[in-house]
């Protein structure tokens, strides 16, 4: 049975390696190239993939592990990202029958939409913690280009993760038959 945790350890381990590679690029390579104000949230993209595509009762554990590895590269609280990720995956779980990844455009659109939901949840938690809206507004202006770039990367990253996790569908996100 593929829902057993032992069948998901290798794909999760390889996903962590991919996340670490993305984080190294985002935290070391981009600043070396002069892009210092933006950090691409590849962790959100991977969590969204898990919510969209992976059928597992261990999604929350996967999210905690991914957010923990993300926290090695970020000073942001991994706990707020974990809570946001779990809430987003719960929303996706309720809407799963309505979500169909029939094209790259739909994948980009759905990824962008759920990143906005992620930001709203995170902003609400930050506001409750700090009661100051100026930081949230500053984060929002940085969120827009970051989320657009991540959404544009989604079809390719999802295709790679589909192969890694063994997820198959009748039609891939780039429009080709799988």
Q: What is the mean pLDDT of residues 60-76?
A: 89
CA distance 116 to 57: 25
Q: Which residues, other chains included, contact 105 with Cβ-Cβ below 8 Å and sequence gap of 6+?
A: none
Q: What does the DSSP 8-state code read for residue 3?
A: T
Q: What is the pLDDT of residue 36?
A: 77
Residue 171 above 60 pLDDT?
no
Annotate 110-121 with DSSP letters as a single string.
HHHHHHHHHHHH
Q: What is the pLDDT of residue 104?
A: 93
Do 63 and 46 form a contact (C-beta atoms < 8 A)? no
Mean pLDDT of the chain: 86
CA distance 160 to 151: 15
CA distance 47 to 117: 13
Residue 172 above 50 pLDDT?
no
Q: What is the pLDDT of residues 12-36, one digit of tens each?
A: 999 999 999 999 988 888 888 887 7
Tallying the residues shown for the chain, one arrives at: 178
CA distance 178 to 165: 14
Residue 45 above 80 pLDDT?
yes
Q: What is the mean pLDDT of residues 80-86?
A: 92
Q: What is the mean pLDDT of residues 156-167?
A: 94
Q: What is the mean pLDDT of residues 49-78?
A: 89
Among 91-100, 114-123, 163-172, which stretch is predicted with the lowest mean pLDDT? 163-172
Q: What is the pLDDT of residue 91?
A: 93
Q: For domain 5-171, is the CATH number 3.40.1350?
A: no
Residue 1 above 50 pLDDT?
no
CA distance 127 to 136: 8
Q: What is the pLDDT of residue 135?
A: 77
> Residue 80: is it exposed, middle or buried by C-beta count within 10 angstroms (0-12/13-18/19+)?
middle
Q: What does the DSSP 8-state code read for residue 25?
A: I
Q: What is the pLDDT of residues 104-120, one digit of tens each?
A: 999 999 999 999 999 99
Residue 155 above 70 pLDDT?
yes
Residue 175 above 60 pLDDT?
no
């Amino acid at each position: 049975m593929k829902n057993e945790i032992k069948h998901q350890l290798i794909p999760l381990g390889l996903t962590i390696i991919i996340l670490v590679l993305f984080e190294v690029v985002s935290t070391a390579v981009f600043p070396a190239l002069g892009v210092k104000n933006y950090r691409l949230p590849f962790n959100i993209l991977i969590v969204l993939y898990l919510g969209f595509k992976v059928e597992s009762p261990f999604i929350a554990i996967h999210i905690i592990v991914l957010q923990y590895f993300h926290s090695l590269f970020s000073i942001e609280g991994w706990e707020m990202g974990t809570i946001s990720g779990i809430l987003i995956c719960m929303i996706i779980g309720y809407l799963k029958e309505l979500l169909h990844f029939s094209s790259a455009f739909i994948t980009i659109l759905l990824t962008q939409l759920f990143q906005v939901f992620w930001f709203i949840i995170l902003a609400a938690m930050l506001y409750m913690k700090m009661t100051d809206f100026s930081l949230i507004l500053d984060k929002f202006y940085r969120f827009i280009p970051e989320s657009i770039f991540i959404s544009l990367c989604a079809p390719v990253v999802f295709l790679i993760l589909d192969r890694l996790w063994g997820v198959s569908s009748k039609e891939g996100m780039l429009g080709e038959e799988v």
